[in-house]
Chains A and B, each alone.
Chain A
């Protein structure tokens, strides 16, 4: 029993006159407060660490390369060993933070040593090595901190790779999909799935942009995420991948509305056989999945995954897709009286209407008239939709 537990319990004993107040104090003194010690120790460690850091930082340029190496390696090992000891003996959280610091030292060590010895890297390879270390730590300790670190390192590394080297680091993407993918598949934890999904979307965007692929390739990546949803979903929980991919593909169509009508997008019109093949396979998969689904409305999302190319009326088709999508959810929502679907349909319908209005009227309407009319239009629309929605909420029939 620890101090705080005794303190709580003994209060009752005094009240019940089992012991006196002075006896209670005597008892309490036998159990010194343990919690304070690690806290003080932590502060001590942080201060000493900060002292070292500032000392090293101010003398770094004057140090010999080998001394710098010694410092980096020494700190790396010291923090790992301390972290492991603390984790097993005292506190998990403190141990994890020590190991996390060591992981950060490893990453910055790669870059510092690279700078010291004039390494030139032509890819995000340092990030790849760093990410392997983070993944290894997760596999060993099963602490979410390391999983999050791994996702963070990989995502930042890929963004860096995209900006600096105009490429996606494929080995890192493979590490992401295989190691972290398996973790997400096994854990089925919504927050982790969310992080994984966002990182996946960022990486597919980097791939398409850096490899000069046509924008419609994004559709294939989004559709893959959509189909992968069944692998990671826990019963009764939010469908993270599905929601993310639908949001992503919806956004893609919004961009389509604005960009597909532009003259300067020329390369977007050429279509590739490989794209059609992959897309068709995935789409058929999604249709089969929809047919097997217990809810009949699963296939409504699939409308969004129909790619729109650059035709003269490509922007109008994108707009049509968005309208169709929101209308279907509205109708389904009213028919089945599922308010979640009505909300989804309402929000997307209002947004699409605004988009259409913006696209059509912005160029030739007087600005103030544009906003006035738009406001009134949206107001009327939301009034009717809201009235309908309330009927559903009350459980009344929406006729």
Chain B
């Protein structure tokens, strides 16, 4: 009897885990903070791969002057980006580091992962993990026209983030 009880506890936990994964997505709209980020023109050779747009955020690459972390940062390491909201409503990068940064008012910290350090051009590239935006099928043409866009991103207090809209 006790075993059956524990079994159903285990089953409930599994269902709950899946549900929480889903609820987090909807709850972000309620408790998350939104920021706007500019994307660079997408790679013209292959802007579409399947039915999603590839997004290159401007804040994802920056010169080494904005880097405040250790030199031997490795691919996949956590990188904190300090963003500031500018007058046109778009956020831009103030500095980046591999240790946590303190935001002032009007500033926000976003987590990303180190991609690579380009020593030749002296800049860094990180990955926000939001490089794909799924669009409805057969709407590719419309998306191809626009060159750079403003993407609205929601950041949840628990570290989750998602794309809200692409303009």
Chain A interface residues toward B at CB < 8 A: 65-66, 69, 72-73, 76-77, 80-81, 84, 88, 102, 106, 109-110, 113-114, 116-120, 122, 129, 133, 136-137, 140-141, 165-167
Q: Please, how many angstroms separate the alpha-carbon atoms of A343 and B147 in the complex?
A: 72
Given contacts A73-B15, A77-B11, A106-B14, contact A122 B21 (CB under 8 A): no
Known: A84-B4, A106-B18, A140-B3. A166 touches B130 (CB 8 A): no
The 5 closest A-B pairs by CB, nearest first: A120-B129, A117-B25, A80-B11, A136-B10, A113-B21
> Could you say which residues of chain A place their CB within 8 Å of the CB of B3?
140-141
What residues of B have a CB within 8 angstroms of the CB of A113 in the complex? 18, 21-22
Residues of A within 8 A of B134 (CB): 118
* B:59-103 near A, CB below 8 Å: 75-76
Q: Which residues from chain A contact B15 at a C-beta distance below 8 Å?
A: 73, 76-77
List, in ascending order, chain B residues with CB within 8 A of A81's CB. 11
Q: Are B130 and A69 in contact (CB under 8 A)?
A: no
Cβ of B113 within 8 Å of any chain A Cβ, yes or no, is yes
For residue B31, CB closer than 8 A to chain A, the reply is no
Q: A110-B18, A140-B3 are in contact. Are A117 and B11 (CB under 8 A)?
A: no
CB pair B6 A109 closer than 8 Å: no
Given A69-B19, A76-B18, verify A140-B6 contact (CB < 8 Å).
Answer: yes
Sample 12 A-B pairs with CB under 8 A, ordered by A number.
Answer: A69-B19, A73-B18, A77-B11, A84-B7, A109-B18, A110-B18, A117-B24, A117-B162, A118-B130, A118-B163, A133-B14, A165-B76
Residue of B nearest to A102 (CB): B11
Instruction: Collect the chain B residues with CB atoms within 8 Å of residue A72's CB.
Output: 18
The reply to whether B130 and A120 contact each other, CB–CB distance below 8 Å, is yes
Give the total number of A-B pairs whose CB atoms are below 8 A apart: 65
Report the Cα distance A129→B10, complex, angstroms. Answer: 12
Q: B161 — nearest CB in chain A belongs to which residue?
A: A120
Point out the residues of chain A lying under 8 angstroms from B14, CB to CB.
76, 106, 133
The CA-CA distance from A141 to B162 in the complex, in Å, is: 39
How far apart are B121's CB and chain A's nearest CB, in angstroms?
24
Q: Judging by beta carbons under 8 Å apart, are A167 and B76 in contact?
A: yes
Q: Which residues of A contact B7 (CB under 8 A)?
A: 80, 84, 140-141
Main SS at interface, chain B: helix
Residue of A nearest to B111 (CB): A122
Chain A nearest CB from B44 CB (Å) reads: 24
A80-B7, A117-B162 given. 15 additional CB < 8 A pairs? A66-B22, A72-B18, A76-B11, A84-B4, A110-B17, A110-B21, A113-B18, A114-B21, A116-B22, A117-B21, A120-B129, A133-B10, A133-B14, A140-B10, A141-B7
Contacts of B75 in A (CB 8 A): 166
> Which A residues touch B130, using CB under 8 A?
118, 120
Verify B76–A118 contact, CB threshold 8 A: no
| A122–B18 CB distance below 8 A | no
Bound-state CA distance A109–B15 (Å) is: 10
Q: How far is the CB of B52 from chain A (nearest CB, A)?
A: 10
In the assembled complex, the CB of B21 is this many whole angstroms from the nearest CB of chain A, namely: 5
Q: What is the CB-to-nearest-CB distance from B8 to chain A, in angstroms, rounded to a whole number?
A: 8
Give min CB distance, A74 to chain B, whole Å: 10
Q: Which residues on B sit within 8 Å (CB–CB) of A133?
A: 10, 14
Residues of A within 8 A of B11 (CB): 76-77, 80-81, 102
CB-CB contacts below 8 Å: B9-50 with A: 10-11, 14-15, 17-19, 21-22, 24-25
For B18, give its contact among A66, A69, A120, A166 (CB under 8 Å).
A69
Most buried by B among A102, A110, A136, A167: A136
Chain A residues near B24: list those with CB within 8 A.
Answer: 117
Q: Which residue of chain A has the shortest Cβ distance to B11 in the bound complex?
A: A80
Nearest to B19 among chain A residues (CB) is A73
What CA separation (Å) do A224 and B22 show in the bound complex?
42
Shortest beta-carbon distance from A80 to chain B in Å: 4
Name the B residues within 8 Å of A66 (CB-CB): 22
List, in ascending order, chain A residues with CB within 8 A of B129's CB. Answer: 120, 122
Instruction: Give complex CA distance A116, B11 in Å.
Output: 22
Q: Chain B residues near A116: list those with CB within 8 A.
A: 22
Min C-beta distance of B25 to chain A, whole Å: 4
CB proximity to A under 8 Å, residues B128-144: 129-130, 132, 134
Considering the complex, give the chain A residue whose CB is closest to the CB of B3.
A140
**In the bound complex, do residue B4 and residue A122 qualify as a contact, i.e. CB atoms below 8 Å apart?**
no
Which of B6, B8, B22, B162 has a CB less than 8 Å from the CB of A118?
Answer: B162
A113 to B26, CA, bound (A): 13
Complex: chain A residue closest to B133, CB-CB: A118
Contacts of A84 in B (CB 8 A): 4, 7-8
